């Protein structure tokens, strides 16, 4: 259980005058500070005595929404948005609790980005800290309350505050303590020091921020320790945006005492990783600590002190800050995900081969019915090993990646496809080579895989020394040499398997979890179906999905339809905005009787749809990428229409749909796959 009494005195937030709050903030003292209720939904009600806004069962029913929308905001620097809220749920009504959602609405996007969501009920105010990445775009904050089950269900907002900086930063001068919380321990805990706080057991320091008795800091004292290795933890807010750089803080330890001060990260799976540990007590004054910090997915920072007895003294902490640049004490080259990734569309990027000769060949295959193309677009480049020109007994082809700094957690993802090979084991393997190329360790290899299907592989590893990832293809026997294809390599910081609590980007759907926000007017045997693997009919349809090879996609089953019958898949309603949008998706049209795949734009209140894109007949045995550029200033929907062809070999599939603001990058390179539509209207509907 987390101690919130000392660390979360929420009422003190009101000490700040509402008129002095920065843009995007409100204490709800006298009004809603430019936050307006959206007319199409229920209103948020300002309490008669001020202090908060709310929705409850006095005017709302279960499932109804109240939406609060800010004025236009801009954050050219990184900002932290703190929301103080309370959700109350009557006993026995947890099956359908109330929900509070916070979205960010950018001016040029036709959808809202879900930044945070909670259903957590409480009997007191809670605080959420949410990172807002810097952007030159104007945006609005949208807060949505959905009332749950129960006669006394309610949702209340006490304060919204947007300030420059990162949410993991804190000088502990405000009583909400930036959302940091103490993990309750009966004997040792973190407390607020400085100011009027007095302690008779230890002589505590002045704070670091103001270097006076008026400033504040956090401290933990061993005076109440009763057991060996008593531990106190101070836990930061969970990061809600990807960040990497230098985490710094000031600390002070009482000299000559037995305590251990460490800093950990903890992901949402509960996995701890030590990133810093005091190696010497330092001087009696405040000491600066700097540590490389990377949060590619949601995680907490934990400041932990372990005491070995009641004479362990104290540890004080102040002025936690973060910078997106690397620490001054950083040695070696910093990691760059861009430099360690490659789709092989333009050369080998920063990858290279053995000097003995080219074991891997960069190839390109045009769309056809017999040989698969690349994974990136279906018509681009990829690497191929064990071709007929290089196949020989004992043949080995090695592809080296760029150098990776040591003592960091990495996630390697890539796509591969195997053709031929009676025995598939070890036809493709991944090794870790230390920089001197003396020590090598196999970390992954093919055991068994569907032939001719692009499969995704994920590998997590961490090594103390600088290393290189090496992709190795092996041809053991001349009579059993097939083809090994490799594409779309990415190397990122973090663990591949860490559960991401960040919501999936809006406008994107892989269909692996569900159909996202897509709907159908009717569902029957002739509708779009969500499937995986091969479709039931032979010589038509994909063998696997585009995302991972083993995931899901949407398709029509031609054997359940008649010639000319249509199936429609509709996107969620999208807001009209100025400027261009880019719709990207992958489609599969393989089969002698394949019909049509069309994409339409359906504007609100219009009876006719506008055709954006169309393909007719058999296209390729591979997944092909489509880029569709369009603009629409009115509320609209995107419709995927599949038409059954002349025979049952007419299955059509789509996967990895993505809608983005701005023009399509690379449309000039894929003219055979792209299309566009624009309109010029006087009114914009939001």
Q: Nearest 5 degrees, angle CA 494-CA 496-CA 498?
A: 80
What does the pLDDT look like over 518-539, one tens digit per residue? 999 888 888 999 999 999 999 9
pLDDT in tens, 499-523: 655 566 778 999 999 999 899 988 8
Q: What is the pLDDT of residue 160?
A: 94
List pLDDT tens digits, range 635-664.
999 999 999 999 999 999 999 999 998 999
Q: Which residue has the higher pLDDT, 426 or 442?
A: 442
C-alpha–C-alpha distance, residues 577 and 580, integer Å = 9
The predicted model scores a pTM of 0.85
pLDDT at 437 over 70: no
In terms of phi and psi (left: phi > 0; alpha: psi -120 to 50; beta: otherwise), the region of 63 is left
Give the Cα-Cα-Cα angle 620, 623, 628 (nearest 5 degrees).
Answer: 100
Alpha-carbon distance 19 to 526, whole Å? Answer: 60
Closest CA to 459 of 446, 477, 478: 446
| Among the ranges given (7-16, 74-83, 178-187, 284-293), the one the predictor scored with the smallest mean pLDDT | 7-16
Give the pLDDT confidence score for residue 682 in this predicted structure.
30
pLDDT band at 616 (very low <50, low <70, confident <90, very high): very high
Cα(327)–Cα(123) distance, integer angstroms: 42
Sign of CA dihedral 329, 77, 212, 180: negative
CB-based contact 428:484 (threshold 8 Å): yes
CA–CA dist 675, 664 (Å, integer): 10
* 494 token code pair: 């973090």
Q: What confidence tier does 426 reach under pLDDT thresholds 50, 70, 90?
A: confident
Q: Does 323 have pLDDT greater than 90?
A: yes
**pLDDT bracket for residue 550 (50, 70, 90):** very high
Q: What confidence tens digit (pLDDT) does each residue in 225-266 have?
A: 777 778 999 999 999 888 888 999 999 887 556 788 999 999
Q: Of 19-28, 176-185, 249-258, 389-398, where does mean pLDDT reach its minimum?
A: 389-398
Give the tens place of pLDDT for each residue, 153-170.
999 999 999 999 999 999
For residue 2, is pLDDT > 60? no
pLDDT band with cut points at 50, 70 and 90 for residue 479: low
pLDDT over threshold 70, residue 615: yes
pLDDT confidence of residue 465? 85
Domains present along the chain, CATH in parentheses: 35-164 (2.60.120.200), 177-197+204-323 (2.60.120.200), 337-493 (2.60.120.200), 508-661 (2.60.120.200)
- Note the maximum CA span of the chain: 89
Beta-ladder partners of 637 = 602
Distance CA 581, CA 623 (A): 22
Q: What are the backbone angles phi and psi of residue 667, rounded to the nearest 5°?
A: -65, -30
pLDDT of residue 197: 56
- In DSSP notation, 465-533 reads S-EEEEEEEEE--GGG--EEEEEEEEEEES-TTSPP-SPPPTTEE-SSSS-TT-B-S--STTS-EEEES
**CA dist list (Å): 39 to 35, 52, 68:** 12, 20, 10
pLDDT in tens, 41-55: 999 999 988 789 999
Q: How far from 586 is each of 518, 546, 547, 552, 604, CA to CA, in Å? A: 16, 7, 10, 13, 26
Residue 183 confidence (pLDDT) above 50: yes
Distances (CA, A) of 386 to 311, 346, 358, 443, 621: 67, 22, 10, 21, 22
pLDDT score at 15: 40
Question: For 9-13, 21-25, 198-202, 335-339, which range has the lowest pLDDT when averaged over its residues?
Answer: 9-13
* DSSP β-bridge partners for residue 493: 410
Q: How confident is the model at residue 681 (pLDDT cuts 50, 70, 90)?
A: very low
pLDDT, tens digit, 9 for 90 and up, residues 286-314 = 999 999 898 888 899 999 998 877 677 78
Q: For residues 518 and 638, give the distance between their C-alpha atoms in angstroms, rounded to a whole number.
A: 9
Q: Which pLDDT score, from 0 to 100, does residue 675 have?
A: 58
- Give the pLDDT of residue 678: 54
Calculate mean pLDDT across residues 126-138. Answer: 91
**What does the pLDDT read at residue 11?**
41
Nearest to 381 by CA among 345, 342, 331: 345
How far apart, in Å, are the Cα atoms of 560 and each of 494, 537, 651, 652?
45, 10, 10, 13
**Cα–Cα distance measured from residue 194 to residue 421, given in angstroms and rounded to the nearest whole number:** 71
Please say whether the beta carbons of 77 and 324 come within 8 A.
Answer: no
Share of the chain above pLDDT 90, in %: 52
Best CA proximity match to 319, nearest among 220, 221, 247, 259: 247
Reported confidence tier of residue 380, pLDDT bands at 50, 70, 90:
very high
The residue count of the chain comes to: 686
């Amino acid at each position: 259980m987390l101690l919130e009494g000392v660390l979360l005195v929420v009422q003190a937030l009101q000490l700040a005058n509402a008129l002095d709050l920065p843009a995007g903030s409100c204490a709800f003292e006298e009004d809603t500070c430019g936050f307006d209720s959206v007319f199409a939904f229920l209103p948020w009600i300002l309490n008669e005595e001020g202090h908060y806004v709310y929705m409850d069962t006095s005017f709302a029913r279960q499932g109804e929404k109240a939406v609060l929308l800010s004025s236009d905001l801009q954050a050219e620097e990184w900002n932290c948005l703190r929301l103080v809220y309370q959700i109350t749920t009557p006993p026995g009504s947890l099956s359908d609790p109330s929900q509070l959602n916070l979205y960010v609405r950018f001016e040029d996007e036709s959808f809202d980005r879900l930044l945070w969501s909670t259903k957590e009920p409480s009997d007191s105010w809670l605080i959420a800290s949410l990172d807002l990445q810097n952007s030159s775009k104007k945006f609005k904050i949208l807060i949505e309350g959905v009332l749950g089950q129960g006669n006394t269900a309610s949702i209340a907002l006490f304060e919204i505050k947007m300030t420059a900086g990162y949410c993991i930063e804190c000088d502990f001068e405000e009583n909400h303590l930036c959302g940091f919380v103490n993990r309750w321990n009966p004997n040792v805990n973190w407390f607020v020091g400085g100011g009027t706080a007095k302690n008779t057991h230890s002589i505590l320091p002045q704070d670091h921020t103001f270097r006076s008795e008026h400033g504040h800091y956090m401290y933990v004292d061993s005076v109440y320790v009763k057991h060996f290795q008593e531990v106190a933890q101070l836990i930061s807010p969970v990061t809600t945006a990807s960040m990497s750089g230098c985490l710094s803080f000031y600390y002070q330890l009482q000299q000559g005492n037995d305590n251990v001060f460490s800093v950990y990260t903890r992901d949402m799976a509960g996995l701890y990783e030590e990133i810093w540990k005091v190696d010497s007590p330092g001087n009696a004054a405040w000491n600066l600590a700097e540590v490389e910090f990377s949060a590619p997915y949601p995680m907490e920072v934990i400041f932990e002190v372990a005491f070995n007895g009641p004479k362990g003294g104290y540890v004080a902490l102040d002025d936690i800050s973060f910078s997106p640049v690397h620490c001054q004490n950083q040695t070696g080259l910093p990691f760059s995900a861009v430099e360690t990734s490659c789709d092989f569309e333009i050369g080998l990027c920063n990858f290279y081969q053995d000097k003995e000769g080219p074991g891997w060949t960069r190839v390109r295959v045009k769309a056809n019915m017999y040989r698969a193309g690349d994974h990136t677009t279906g018509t681009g480049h990829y690497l191929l090993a064990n071709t007929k020109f290089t196949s020989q007994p004992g043949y080995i082809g090695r592809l080296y990646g760029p150098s990776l700094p040591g003592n960091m957690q990495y996630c390697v993802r890539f796509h591969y496809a195997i053709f031929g090979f009676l025995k598939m084991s070890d036809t493709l393997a991944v090794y870790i080579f230390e920089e001197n190329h003396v020590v090598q360790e196999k970390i992954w290899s093919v055991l068994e895989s569907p032939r001719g299907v692009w499969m995704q592989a994920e590998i997590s590893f961490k090594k103390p020394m600088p290393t290189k990832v090496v992709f190795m293809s092996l041809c053991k026997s001349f009579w059993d040499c097939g083809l090994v294809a490799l594409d779309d390599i990415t190397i990122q910081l973090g663990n591949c398997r860490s559960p991401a609590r960040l919501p999936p980007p809006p406008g994107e759907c892989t269909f692996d979890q569900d159909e996202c926000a897509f709907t159908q007017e009717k569902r029957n045997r002739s509708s779009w179906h969500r499937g995986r693997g091969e479709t039931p009919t032979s010589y038509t349809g994909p063998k696997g999905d585009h995302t991972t090879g083993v995931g899901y996609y949407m398709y029509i089953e031609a054997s359940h339809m008649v010639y000319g019958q249509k199936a429609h898949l509709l996107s969620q309603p999208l807001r009209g905005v100025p400027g261009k949008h880019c719709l990207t998706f992958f489609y599969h049209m393989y089969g002698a009787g394949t019909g049509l795949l069309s994409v339409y734009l359906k504007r609100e209140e219009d009876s006719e749809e506008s055709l954006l894109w169309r393909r007719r007949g058999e296209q390729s045995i591979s997944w092909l990428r489509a880029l569709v550029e369009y603009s629409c200033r009115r509320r609209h929907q995107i419709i995927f229409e599949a038409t059954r062809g002349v025979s049952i070999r007419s299955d059509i599939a789509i996967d990895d749909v993505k809608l983005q603001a701005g023009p399509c990058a690379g449309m000039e390179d894929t003219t055979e796959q792209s299309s566009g539509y624009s309109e010029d209207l006087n009114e914009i509907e939001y």
